[in-house]
Amino acid sequence: MPSLRSRLWSSLRARAIATFGRRALAAVLYGVLALPLALVGFFLTLVGLAFGGALSVTTLGLWLLAATVRGALALGALQRGLARRLLGLEIEQPGGAGVEVGGTGVGPTAILGWRRGILLDRTGWRAVGCALLTPFTAVFAYAAVVIGYVYGALFTLHPLLKRWNYNTVHSTDGTTRSVSLEFFGYQLDSWPRWLIPFTAGLLLLAVAPLLLRYALGPHRALLTVLLGPDAATRRIRTLEETRARAVDDAAQTLRRIERDLHDGTQARLVALAMHLTLIRELVTAGAEPDRVLTVVDTAQGNATQAITDLRHLVKGIHPPVLDEGLHAALTTLAADSALPVTLTTDIGTRPTPAVETIAYFCAAELLANATKHAHATAAAVDVTARDGVLRLRVTDDGQGGALIGAGSGLTGLLDRVRTVDGTLTCDSPPGGPTVVTVELPHT
C-alpha cells in the first residue's frame, strides 16, 4: 500500500501537471491571444461594414464590403488554425464561394464574378458575424486567465512580492497612501497573515484549468457554429460521401458476382457440358453401363454444386428468406447462428426492401463478429419500429473493445447504413458487453 506521503506527492504532481502542463499552458496562451485577435477583427470588420454600407451605392462601397467579407474569412481561417493548434478543436472547412475565391480568368468578368461570389456567399457573412461576436465570448477566457493564473500566482507569491502587492488608499483629507493587501481591515504584511493570500492563490491555481475550460465553452461553440459548415453543407457532404460509397459498393458487388460466376458456376457448367458430351459418346459407342453411370454421377454432382453456388450467390445479393419479412429472416439467422441468440421484434408496418436488406446484413455481420472476434457466449437481437425509425440493437457478452474505424467491419456497416441516411453507434468498453445500435428510416 502506498504511504500517505507518496499519495500526497502524487496528488500534488497530478494537480501541477493539470495546471501547468503542456495542454493547460496552450489553453492559457489561447485565452491570452483570443481577445486581442477578436478585438482587432471586430474593429476592422465594423469599420469595413460601416464605410462599405455608406458607399454601397457606388462601386467602391461594394468592393469595400467584399474586402471586408474576405478579411473575415481570412480571420476565421486564422482562428480555426489557432483553435486547432492550442485547443485541439477541429473545425471543418465551411466550403462555399468565399473559400475558393480564385478563378481561371483574370478579366473584368472574372473579377466581377469573384466579388459577386463573395457578397452572395453565406459562408462569408457567417464569418463576418463571427468576427463581430467573438470579442464577447473571448473576454470570458481572458478573464479566466487573469483571475485563475495571474491573481493565483500573485497571491501565492505574496510573501515574496509583498513590496509590490499594495493598494492605494484615499484619505478624507485628500491625500493618498499605499498599504499592503488588506483582508477585512487587516493588512497582510506579516506572518501568519501571509497564509491567507498564499492559500487563496493555491486555490485559484488549482481551479484555474477548470475555470478556463468553462470560460472557453461559449467561444468554442461560437467558432464551431459560425466558422464550420452549416447543416445544409454537412447534409450535402454526407450525401456525396454516401453516394460515392454506394457506387463503389455496387461496383464491388458486380465484380464479385462476375468473379464468382466465372470461377465457380461457369466452370462447373462447362464441366457438366463436357460430361454430357462424354456420356453421348459412350452411349453411341455402346460402352458398359457401369462406366456410363459413373460419368452420369459426376455430371449430376457438378449440376448439384452449380445450383448450390447459384443459391449462395443469390443469397449474398438478397436473401430469399427476406421475402417472408424481416422477422422471419432474423428468426432463421438466429437459428443458424453459432451462438445462442435471443430475438425480440416489434415491427408494425413492414419496412421497404432496402431497409430490410440492410438490417438483415447488419444483424448477420454483427453476430458473426460476436462469434469470431468478441468470443461471446450469447447474443441478443432487438428490433423495434417506432416514430419512423427502425432500430436494430445487437448485444453480446464478449470481450468488448470494438471500435468504428481502423479497418473494422463496423466501418463497412456504417457505410452501408449511411446510404439510406441511417446511423450506427457502438458502445463496447473493454471487457464488454458490446452494444451496437443501427437506426434506419422507416416509413
For residue 319, what is its C-alpha cell?
Answer: 436473401
- With contact defined as beta carbons under 8 Å apart, do 371 and 338 qualify? yes
pLDDT in tens, 154-166: 777 766 655 555 5
Q: What type of residue sits at position 433?
A: P
Residue recorded with cell 492563490: 201
SS3 47: helix
- With contact defined as beta carbons under 8 Å apart, do 275 and 302 qualify? yes
Give the pairing type, strands 341-346 and 379-386: parallel
pLDDT in tens, 131-156: 999 999 999 999 999 888 888 887 77
SS3 228: coil
For residue 226, what is its C-alpha cell?
Answer: 459560425
SS3 187: strand
Closest to 161 measured CA to CA, from 181, 178, 143, 175: 181
pTM of the model: 0.54
pLDDT of residue 134: 93
The DSSP secondary-structure symbol of 417 reads H
Q: What angle do CA 285, 288, 290 make, to 5 degrees?
A: 135
- The secondary element (H helix, E strand) that includes residue 381 is strand 379-386
Alpha helices by DSSP H, 55-148: 59-87, 108-120, 122-145
* Ranges of residues in the chain whose predicted pLDDT is under 50: 1, 97-106, 169-171, 175, 177-179, 184-185
pLDDT of residue 104: 43
| CA distances in angstroms from 400 to 236, 342, 423, 433, listed in the order given | 34, 19, 20, 6
pLDDT of residue 142: 92
SS3 186: strand
What pairs with residue 436 in β-bridges? 394, 426
pLDDT of residue 100: 41
| CA distances in angstroms from 322 to 333, 334, 341, 420, 423, listed in the order given | 11, 14, 19, 18, 22
Cα 134 to Cα 309: distance, rounded to the nearest angstrom: 64
pLDDT of residue 1: 45
